[in-house]
Amino acid sequence: MSDELINILDYSIQRELAEGGMAQVYLAEQIGINGFTKRVAIKIIKQELSKQQEFLDNFIGEAKLVADLVHTNIAQTYHLGESQGQYFIVMEYIRGINLQELSEQLYHKQMKLPIELAVFITSRVARALTYAHNKRGSFDQMLGIVHRDISFRNIMVSFEGDVKLMDFGIAKALGYLRNQEGKVLAGKPDYMSPEQAQFKITDARSDLFSTGVVLSSLVLGYNIFYDEKPEKARKNVIRAKLPDFMKIDSRIDKRLDTILRKCLARDLMKRYQSAEELLHDLELYIYGSGYGPTNETLAEFIGRCFGQIPLPNVVISKGDTIPVSHATDWTPTLKKR
The C-alpha atoms of residue 295 and residue 157 are separated, in whole angstroms, by 10
The C-alpha atoms of residue 89 and residue 64 are separated, in whole angstroms, by 10
Stretch (H or E) spanning 37:
strand 37-45
The C-alpha atoms of residue 242 and residue 224 are separated, in whole angstroms, by 8
User: Does residue 92 contact residue 75 with C-beta atoms inside 8 Å?
Assistant: yes
* Residue-level length of the chain: 337
The C-alpha atoms of residue 280 and residue 94 are separated, in whole angstroms, by 27
Which residue from 324, 333, 336, 337 is spatially nearest to 110, judged by alpha carbons?
A: 324
Q: Convert 265-293 to b/e letters by CB count within 10 Å (16 or more is b).
A: beebeebbebbeebbebbbebbbeeeebb
The C-alpha atoms of residue 116 and residue 103 are separated, in whole angstroms, by 16
Stretch (H or E) spanning 247:
helix 245-248
Which of the following is catalytic: 149, 167, 190, 207?
A: 149
Contacts of 297 (CB under 8 A, 6+ apart): 116, 117, 120, 161, 332, 333, 334, 335
Is beta strand 291-292 parallel, antiparallel or unpaired with respect to 163-165? unpaired
**149 belongs to the catalytic site:** yes
User: Does residue 167 contact residue 94 with C-beta atoms inside 8 Å?
Assistant: no
Catalytic residues: 149
